[in-house]
């Protein structure tokens, strides 16, 4: 089968398309014919050897798939031909293994691209909004990097939760997408004073900031929070890990929290199970569907990863594998 292979840590352009042996499912696993694979910013970090957990090369990157079951290992409650989606490792390939416990059926009215794109970013955003921040109807939620994968998922979900969304991004095109997805207010944080605009647009009532970007945007967003607000750090797509002045936390009674999708289930199992069940229901009935801003064939996976690395993406990027 054809697959994208990282032979050594490097850039997206260092990846190769190669023929590799077809995987064989173990007990409890599914062998899936991949029809769509979603691209996430951590994929760029994995191939560079810069993610929190390092995978020694050679490996097949990517971790979100949707496709058809080819074969089910012993004890896996699925049948060949069923349409499934889930999180695994080795997604950028024509076939991939998926633990049956990580697999969900794809609704009849959902396409493979939407199913693949719904996993990691929507779980990240929903855990942050639902379990960490405990956002309620009418709360102002500020979303940084609001047109990116996690950001636009957070906009979608906060709107579905009937929160009031202030979307912050870096261009008029990105902000227009956020408006279309239901953001009540927007800020171009490369051209406007982020702290002042958060206070002005929310009436100094911003209860939560979701920050998957980091860098120079974090501190002014923190300063824009209302007293007693919650700041949630989710990642550092801007490339720099910010330092937060702790006196701001003290003076404004702010709570600073971190949320990492990789460890959330182990750290908060009850909340994680509840959240994932609620998300699955939202997807099943069509309450939320991801915005797919770009699609690439398998052979152009390096270009797709570069697109994400350079922060050009609106919503999600998907690899189509016919």
User: Residue 311: pLDDT band by 50, 70, 90 thresholds?
Assistant: confident
Q: Which CATH number fits domain 2-120+267-320: 3.90.180.10, 3.10.20.80, 3.10.20.740, 3.40.50.920?
A: 3.90.180.10
Does the pLDDT value for residue 146 go beyond 90? yes
Question: Where are the CATH 3.40.50.720 domain residues in the chain?
Answer: 133-258
pLDDT > 70: what percent of the chain?
100
User: Residue 15: pLDDT band by 50, 70, 90 thresholds?
Assistant: very high
Question: Please, is 51 exposed, middle or buried when counting C-beta atoms within 10 Å of its C-beta (0-12, 13-18, 19+)?
Answer: middle
Mean pLDDT of 243-265: 92
User: Residue 253: pLDDT band by 50, 70, 90 thresholds?
Assistant: very high
Residues 123 and 241: their CA atoms lie apart, in Å, by 22
User: Residue 118: pLDDT band by 50, 70, 90 thresholds?
Assistant: very high
CB 207 within 8 A of CB 135: yes
Does the pLDDT value for residue 211 go beyond 90? yes
**Which secondary-structure segment (H or E) carries 288?**
none
Does the pLDDT value for residue 53 go beyond 90? no
Question: Where are the CATH 3.90.180.10 domain residues in the chain?
Answer: 2-120+267-320
Mean pLDDT of 168-185: 96
User: Residue 289: pLDDT band by 50, 70, 90 thresholds?
Assistant: very high
User: Residue 52: pLDDT band by 50, 70, 90 thresholds?
Assistant: confident
User: What is residue 37's predicted lDDT score, i.e. its pLDDT?
Assistant: 98
Instruction: Report residue 316 as tokens.
Output: 């999600």
Q: Where are the alpha helices (DSSP H) in 229-288?
A: 246-252, 261-267, 269-285
pLDDT digits (tens, 9 = 90+) for 28-45: 999 999 999 999 989 999
Mean pLDDT of 189-213: 97
User: What is residue 12's predicted lDDT score, i.e. its pLDDT?
Assistant: 97
Residues 125 and 148: their CA atoms lie apart, in Å, by 12
Exposure on the CB side of residue 130, measured as CA atoms within 13 A: 23
User: What is residue 45's predicted lDDT score, i.e. its pLDDT?
Assistant: 92
Does the pLDDT value for residue 126 go beyond 90? yes
Nearest to 60 by CA among 20, 99, 31, 28: 20
Average model confidence (pLDDT) for the chain?
95
Mean pLDDT of 215-227: 96
Does the pLDDT value for residue 262 go beyond 90? no
Q: What are residue 236's DSSP bridge partners?
A: none
CATH fold label, 133-258: Rossmann fold (3.40.50)
User: What is residue 51's predicted lDDT score, i.e. its pLDDT?
Assistant: 86
Mean pLDDT of 278-299: 94
Neighbours of 54 (CB within 10 A): 12
Question: pTM of the predicted model, to two decimals?
Answer: 0.90
Strand pairing category for 140-144 and 16-19? unpaired
Alpha-carbon distances, residue 16 vs 38, 55, 219, 301 (angstroms): 18, 17, 39, 9
Residues 298 and 275: their CA atoms lie apart, in Å, by 32
Does the pLDDT value for residue 93 go beyond 90? yes
Alpha-carbon distances, residue 316 vs 113, 116, 296 (angstroms): 10, 10, 11
Mean pLDDT of 308-320: 91
Mean pLDDT of 82-88: 96
User: Residue 276: pLDDT band by 50, 70, 90 thresholds?
Assistant: very high
Nearest to 34 by CA among 301, 303, 262: 301
Does the pLDDT value for residue 140 go beyond 90? yes
């Amino acid at each position: 089968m054809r697959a994208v292979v990282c032979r050594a840590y490097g850039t997206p352009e260092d990846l190769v398309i190669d023929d590799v042996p077809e995987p064989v499912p173990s007990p409890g696993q599914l062998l899936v014919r991949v029809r769509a694979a979603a691209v996430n910013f951590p994929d760029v970090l994995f191939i560079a050897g810069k993610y929190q957990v390092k995978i020694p090369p050679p490996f097949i990157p990517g971790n979100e798939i949707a496709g058809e079951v080819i074969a089910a290992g012993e004890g896996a409650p699925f049948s060949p031909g069923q349409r499934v989606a889930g999180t695994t490792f080795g997604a950028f390939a024509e076939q991939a293994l998926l633990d049956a416990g990580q697999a969900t059926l794809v609704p009849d009215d959902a396409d493979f691209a939407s199913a693949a794109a719904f996993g990691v970013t929507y779980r990240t955003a929903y855990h942050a909004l639902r379990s960490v921040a405990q956002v309620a109807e009418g709360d102002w939620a500020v979303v940084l990097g609001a047109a990116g994968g996690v950001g636009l998922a957070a906009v979608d979900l906060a709107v579905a939760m009937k929160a009031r969304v202030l979307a912050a991004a870096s261009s008029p095109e990105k902000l227009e997408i956020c408006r279309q997805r239901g953001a009540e207010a927007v800020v171009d944080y490369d051209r406007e004073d982020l702290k002042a605009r958060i206070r002005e647009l929310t009436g100094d009532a911003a209860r939560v900031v979701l920050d998957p970007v980091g860098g120079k945007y974090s501190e002014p967003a923190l300063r824009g929070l209302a007293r007693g607000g919650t700041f949630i750090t989710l990642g550092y797509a801007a490339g720099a890990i910010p330092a937060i002045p702790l006196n701001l936390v003290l003076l404004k009674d702010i709570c600073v929290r971190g949320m990492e999708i990789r460890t959330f289930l182990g750290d908060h199992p009850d909340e994680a199970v509840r959240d994932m069940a609620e998300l699955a229901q939202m997807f099943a009935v069509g309450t939320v569907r991801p915005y797919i801003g770009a699609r690439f064939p398998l052979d152009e996976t390096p270009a797709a990863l570069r697109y994400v690395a350079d922060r050009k993406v609106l919503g999600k990027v998907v690899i189509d594998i016919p």
